[in-house]
Amino acid sequence: MSAEKSGRRYQASLASRRREMVTPEGLALPVTVAGRGARAGALLLDMIILFGGAFVVLLVLVAFGEGLAGNRSGEGQSPAEELATVALIMAFWLARYGYFLFFELGPRGATPGKRLMGIRVAARPSASNADAGGGRLTAEAVIARNLLRDIEVFLPTFYLLGMLASGGQADGVMGWAAFVWLMVFLLFPLFNKDRLRGGDLVAGTWVIEASRVRLAQAMSIAPNHGRDYRFGDAELRVYGEHELQVLEGVLRQDNPEAMREVMLAICRKIGWEPGAGHEREFLEAFYSALRAHLERGMRFGQRKADKHS
């Protein structure tokens, strides 16, 4: 009975996180907002990767500095030790910001921690522009959300840890202020339906579950005995796995108006003149051709995640 209740609670939680995102092409794409646990786990994994890498760099630089310094006597740092210290500070700074920028600006929109947890960052539709969702993340958005992470988490955490490490009391006015500040931002995702943190709110982003549907599990298409559609490699290269999954969703919904819009969007993209009255035939033919094209690429180690990659 408890397992049944847990299953119902999970289904209720999943339903509360389902949203609809309209892509720049005008396609309505169902998405699921990432759970708070998945986001926390992804951040923890990324921190382990970051600090593990920083520790390895520290060991290398320490060995490098000691090797150049030799058996030097006297007080103060040698030029080699000063160089190693500066290099360590720069490496940590670049890793701290460059890590998130590099991965979230990529075609997957996810750091290694997020990929392991099956989530990614995406542009969030706004109230003033409902069609802004689903586009590739801009550098401004990624920089904004990651700079806010410093204010939300890192600065108050390092301040509290620094006070404790130096033997100071963290229960003073400044300590309590830093603690309250940290708790406000850590608990912020609990008080909005899209699980947004402060950085997401400022940058216009959200974190959603990444689709894990494999091409082999895609829908079957009956042979087309009507019009004969042939698409070249150049026409099929404009889309990737993400668009294939969107197209599959449209075919499953079997909404004539949606299929008409999608056909028009594809025809504009590949330079075809759209017809009328055979939308499903066209989309099924394009789906089959695109799926075969992507599977051929995967066999040769060439994977195309979406149209941007």
Determine, yes or no, domain membership for 170.
no
Alpha helices in the chain (DSSP H): 2-16, 36-69, 79-104, 112-117, 139-149, 155-165, 173-187, 198-203, 233-236, 241-253, 256-270, 279-299
Q: Is residue 134 part of a domain?
A: yes
Q: Does 72 lie in the same domain as 132?
A: yes
Considering the domain architecture, whether residues 200 and 261 belong to the same structural domain is answered as: no
Q: Print the domain residue range for 137.
A: 13-150+193-209
d(CA 51, CA 41): 15
Residues 110 and 94 in one domain: yes
40 and 113 belong to one structural domain = yes
209, 238, 259 - which closes a domain = 209
- For residues 112 and 155, the model is more confident at 112
Q: Which of 150-159, 160-169, 242-251 has the lowest mean pLDDT?
A: 160-169
Whether residues 140 and 262 fall in one domain: no
Cβ-in-10-Å burial (0-12, 13-18, 19+) of 18 comes to: exposed
Q: Among residues of the chain, what percentage have pLDDT more than 70?
A: 70
- Residue at a domain's end among 179, 209, 239: 209
Q: Are residues 264 and 287 in the same domain?
A: yes
Among 44-53, 229-238, 241-250, the least confident range: 241-250
Q: How many domains is the chain built from?
A: 2
Q: Do 234 and 258 reside in the same domain of the chain? A: yes
296, 215 Cβ separation under 8 angstroms: no
Vertex 31, ends 234 and 117: CA angle to 5°? 95
Q: Is residue 307 part of a domain?
A: no
Whole-model pTM?
0.61
Q: 75 falls in which pLDDT band (50, 70, 90)?
A: low
Of all residues in the chain, the percent with pLDDT exceeding 90 is 3
For residue 123, give the 3-state DSSP assignment.
strand
In a domain, 185, yes or no: no
Is residue 182 included in any domain, yes or no? no
pLDDT digits (tens, 9 = 90+) for 207-222: 888 765 454 444 544 4
Looking at the structure, tell me whether residues 140 and 287 fall in a common domain: no
Which of 209, 238, 255 is a domain's end point? 209
Task: Kindly state whether residues 261 and 205 are assigned to the same domain.
Answer: no
CA distances from 17 to 8, 189, 206, 213 (A): 14, 13, 12, 19
Same domain, 60 and 197: yes
- Same domain membership, residue 205 and residue 257: no
- Tens of pLDDT along 6-35? 556 656 766 778 887 766 555 566 778 888
156 within a domain of the structure (yes/no): no
- Cα-atom radius of gyration of the chain, to the nearest Å? 25
Q: Is the pLDDT of residue 45 over 90?
A: yes
- Same domain? For 80 and 47 the reply is yes
Does any domain span residue 173?
A: no
Report the candidate in 49, 25, 169, 174 with the shortest Cα–Cα distance to residue 112. Answer: 49
In a domain, 155, yes or no: no
